[in-house]
Amino acid sequence: MQKKERVIVYVDGFNLYFGIKEAGFNNCKWLDINKLVLDLIKPDQELSGIKYFTSSVSNNPDKQKRQITYIEALETTGIKVYYGHYQKGTIECRRCGNIWANYNEKMTDVNIATQMMIDAFTDQYDIAMLISGDSDLVPPVKEIHAHFPRKRVLIAFPPKRFNNSVSLVAKGYFTIGRKKLADNQFPPEVVKKDGYILHKPIEWT
Protein backbone atom coordinates (compact mmCIF):
# COMPACT_ATOMS: atom_id res chain seq x y z
CA MET A 1 0.00 0.00 0.00
CA GLN A 2 1.35 3.42 -0.99
CA LYS A 3 2.06 5.74 1.93
CA LYS A 4 -0.15 8.81 2.02
CA GLU A 5 1.40 12.27 1.66
CA ARG A 6 1.32 14.28 4.89
CA VAL A 7 -0.27 17.72 4.58
CA ILE A 8 0.05 20.65 6.99
CA VAL A 9 -2.09 23.70 6.23
CA TYR A 10 -0.98 27.26 7.02
CA VAL A 11 -3.79 29.81 7.01
CA ASP A 12 -3.23 33.55 6.70
CA GLY A 13 -6.34 34.55 8.65
CA PHE A 14 -6.64 38.18 7.58
CA ASN A 15 -5.83 37.40 3.93
CA LEU A 16 -8.58 34.78 3.90
CA TYR A 17 -11.11 36.94 5.76
CA PHE A 18 -10.64 40.05 3.62
CA GLY A 19 -10.65 37.98 0.43
CA ILE A 20 -14.04 36.55 1.41
CA LYS A 21 -15.26 40.03 2.39
CA GLU A 22 -14.01 41.70 -0.80
CA ALA A 23 -15.67 39.01 -2.91
CA GLY A 24 -18.99 39.80 -1.21
CA PHE A 25 -19.31 36.31 0.31
CA ASN A 26 -20.55 37.68 3.64
CA ASN A 27 -22.45 34.51 4.52
CA CYS A 28 -19.23 32.48 4.14
CA LYS A 29 -17.27 34.09 6.98
CA TRP A 30 -18.34 31.44 9.53
CA LEU A 31 -15.97 29.06 7.78
CA ASP A 32 -15.09 25.67 9.24
CA ILE A 33 -11.50 25.58 7.98
CA ASN A 34 -10.91 22.01 9.14
CA LYS A 35 -13.93 20.83 7.17
CA LEU A 36 -12.85 22.90 4.15
CA VAL A 37 -9.35 21.42 4.17
CA LEU A 38 -10.66 17.87 4.40
CA ASP A 39 -12.79 18.71 1.36
CA LEU A 40 -9.74 20.03 -0.52
CA ILE A 41 -7.14 17.32 0.08
CA LYS A 42 -6.97 14.25 -2.15
CA PRO A 43 -7.58 10.60 -1.19
CA ASP A 44 -3.83 9.86 -1.30
CA GLN A 45 -3.16 12.67 1.20
CA GLU A 46 -3.68 12.87 4.96
CA LEU A 47 -4.09 15.96 7.12
CA SER A 48 -1.33 16.31 9.73
CA GLY A 49 -2.43 19.66 11.13
CA ILE A 50 -3.78 23.15 10.53
CA LYS A 51 -2.07 26.31 11.77
CA TYR A 52 -4.03 29.57 11.73
CA PHE A 53 -2.22 32.91 11.84
CA THR A 54 -3.86 36.18 12.85
CA SER A 55 -3.59 39.26 15.05
CA SER A 56 -6.03 40.28 17.78
CA VAL A 57 -8.27 43.15 16.67
CA SER A 58 -8.03 45.94 19.23
CA ASN A 59 -9.61 49.02 17.68
CA ASN A 60 -13.24 47.91 17.53
CA PRO A 61 -15.03 46.03 20.36
CA ASP A 62 -17.69 44.54 18.06
CA LYS A 63 -15.13 43.24 15.56
CA GLN A 64 -13.00 41.98 18.43
CA LYS A 65 -15.92 40.01 19.84
CA ARG A 66 -16.68 38.43 16.46
CA GLN A 67 -13.04 37.53 15.98
CA ILE A 68 -12.77 35.90 19.43
CA THR A 69 -15.96 33.92 18.82
CA TYR A 70 -14.69 32.70 15.46
CA ILE A 71 -11.25 31.72 16.76
CA GLU A 72 -12.83 29.81 19.64
CA ALA A 73 -14.96 27.96 17.08
CA LEU A 74 -11.83 27.09 15.09
CA GLU A 75 -10.11 25.80 18.22
CA THR A 76 -12.94 23.30 18.82
CA THR A 77 -11.69 21.49 15.69
CA GLY A 78 -8.09 21.26 16.94
CA ILE A 79 -6.66 24.12 14.89
CA LYS A 80 -3.62 25.78 16.48
CA VAL A 81 -3.69 29.60 16.49
CA TYR A 82 -0.61 31.84 16.24
CA TYR A 83 -0.85 35.54 17.01
CA GLY A 84 1.04 38.49 15.60
CA HIS A 85 0.41 42.12 16.53
CA TYR A 86 -2.32 44.57 15.57
CA GLN A 87 -0.34 47.80 15.50
CA LYS A 88 -1.73 51.32 15.56
CA GLY A 89 -0.28 53.89 13.22
CA THR A 90 -1.37 57.16 11.67
CA ILE A 91 -2.12 58.43 8.20
CA GLU A 92 -1.77 62.10 7.32
CA CYS A 93 -3.57 63.71 4.42
CA ARG A 94 -1.02 65.77 2.47
CA ARG A 95 -3.72 68.05 1.13
CA CYS A 96 -5.69 68.94 4.25
CA GLY A 97 -3.24 67.97 7.01
CA ASN A 98 -5.78 65.82 8.85
CA ILE A 99 -4.43 62.82 10.73
CA TRP A 100 -6.36 59.68 11.52
CA ALA A 101 -5.61 56.30 13.06
CA ASN A 102 -4.64 53.36 10.94
CA TYR A 103 -4.28 49.75 12.12
CA ASN A 104 -2.09 47.09 10.54
CA GLU A 105 -1.36 43.51 11.42
CA LYS A 106 2.29 42.70 11.99
CA MET A 107 4.33 39.50 12.08
CA THR A 108 1.78 37.21 10.43
CA ASP A 109 3.96 36.57 7.37
CA VAL A 110 7.04 36.07 9.57
CA ASN A 111 5.16 33.63 11.81
CA ILE A 112 3.91 31.66 8.81
CA ALA A 113 7.37 31.53 7.23
CA THR A 114 8.93 30.42 10.53
CA GLN A 115 6.46 27.60 11.07
CA MET A 116 6.71 26.40 7.46
CA MET A 117 10.51 26.30 7.69
CA ILE A 118 10.60 24.60 11.11
CA ASP A 119 8.13 21.96 9.95
CA ALA A 120 10.17 21.38 6.78
CA PHE A 121 13.45 20.97 8.71
CA THR A 122 11.83 18.60 11.21
CA ASP A 123 10.13 16.68 8.38
CA GLN A 124 6.55 17.21 9.54
CA TYR A 125 4.99 17.34 6.06
CA ASP A 126 5.33 16.28 2.46
CA ILE A 127 2.98 19.03 1.29
CA ALA A 128 2.53 22.46 2.84
CA MET A 129 -0.79 23.97 1.79
CA LEU A 130 -0.63 27.73 2.17
CA ILE A 131 -3.95 29.58 2.20
CA SER A 132 -2.82 33.10 1.31
CA GLY A 133 -2.02 35.37 -1.58
CA ASP A 134 0.59 37.45 0.27
CA SER A 135 3.67 38.03 -1.90
CA ASP A 136 5.78 38.45 1.26
CA LEU A 137 5.66 34.67 1.51
CA VAL A 138 7.43 34.12 -1.82
CA PRO A 139 10.96 33.91 -0.25
CA PRO A 140 10.18 31.11 2.25
CA VAL A 141 8.32 29.12 -0.42
CA LYS A 142 11.34 29.39 -2.75
CA GLU A 143 13.75 28.37 0.02
CA ILE A 144 11.67 25.35 1.03
CA HIS A 145 11.68 24.11 -2.54
CA ALA A 146 15.42 24.80 -2.89
CA HIS A 147 16.40 22.96 0.30
CA PHE A 148 13.73 20.25 0.26
CA PRO A 149 13.15 19.32 -3.40
CA ARG A 150 10.86 16.43 -2.44
CA LYS A 151 8.51 18.69 -0.51
CA ARG A 152 5.81 20.76 -2.18
CA VAL A 153 4.22 24.05 -1.23
CA LEU A 154 0.72 24.20 -2.68
CA ILE A 155 -1.05 27.56 -2.72
CA ALA A 156 -4.78 27.82 -2.08
CA PHE A 157 -5.67 31.41 -2.93
CA PRO A 158 -8.58 32.96 -1.05
CA PRO A 159 -11.19 34.72 -3.22
CA LYS A 160 -9.85 37.94 -4.79
CA ARG A 161 -6.32 37.13 -3.58
CA PHE A 162 -4.65 35.55 -6.61
CA ASN A 163 -1.05 36.73 -6.88
CA ASN A 164 1.08 35.90 -9.90
CA SER A 165 4.41 36.12 -8.04
CA VAL A 166 3.14 33.59 -5.49
CA SER A 167 1.77 31.24 -8.14
CA LEU A 168 5.13 31.19 -9.96
CA VAL A 169 7.02 29.77 -6.97
CA ALA A 170 4.32 27.26 -5.98
CA LYS A 171 4.29 23.59 -6.95
CA GLY A 172 0.59 23.84 -7.71
CA TYR A 173 -2.10 26.40 -6.95
CA PHE A 174 -5.84 27.02 -7.13
CA THR A 175 -8.41 29.54 -5.94
CA ILE A 176 -10.94 28.54 -3.29
CA GLY A 177 -14.34 29.06 -4.88
CA ARG A 178 -17.58 30.23 -3.35
CA LYS A 179 -19.17 26.77 -3.41
CA LYS A 180 -16.33 25.25 -1.39
CA LEU A 181 -16.67 28.05 1.16
CA ALA A 182 -20.46 27.82 1.33
CA ASP A 183 -20.41 24.02 1.66
CA ASN A 184 -18.02 24.08 4.61
CA GLN A 185 -19.56 26.42 7.15
CA PHE A 186 -19.91 25.82 10.88
CA PRO A 187 -23.45 25.16 12.11
CA PRO A 188 -25.12 28.29 13.60
CA GLU A 189 -24.16 27.03 17.07
CA VAL A 190 -20.80 25.50 17.98
CA VAL A 191 -20.42 23.81 21.36
CA LYS A 192 -17.07 24.09 23.17
CA LYS A 193 -15.68 21.28 25.34
CA ASP A 194 -16.87 23.04 28.49
CA GLY A 195 -20.41 23.18 27.11
CA TYR A 196 -20.36 26.88 26.24
CA ILE A 197 -22.27 27.60 23.02
CA LEU A 198 -20.72 29.87 20.40
CA HIS A 199 -23.22 31.58 18.10
CA LYS A 200 -22.58 32.64 14.53
CA PRO A 201 -22.39 36.48 14.50
CA ILE A 202 -25.62 38.02 13.21
CA GLU A 203 -23.54 40.30 10.96
CA TRP A 204 -22.27 37.24 9.08
CA THR A 205 -25.67 35.93 8.02
pLDDT in tens, 122-162: 999 999 999 999 999 999 999 999 999 999 999 999 999 99
- The residue length of the chain stands at 205
pLDDT in tens, 34-70: 999 999 999 999 999 999 999 988 778 999 999 999 9
Least confident of 70-79, 104-113, 139-148: 104-113
Q: How far apart are CA 150 and CA 18, in angstroms?
A: 33
121 Cβ neighbours under 8 A, 6+ residues apart:
none
Domain ranges of the chain: 5-204
Q: First and final CA of the chain: distance in angstroms?
A: 45
CATH topology for 5-204 is: Rossmann fold (3.40.50)
| 143, amino acid identity | E
pTM exceeds 0.85 for this model? yes
Share of the chain above pLDDT 70, in %: 90
State the CB neighbour count (10 A cutoff) for residue 158: 25
Q: How far apart are CA 116 and CA 111, in angstroms?
A: 9
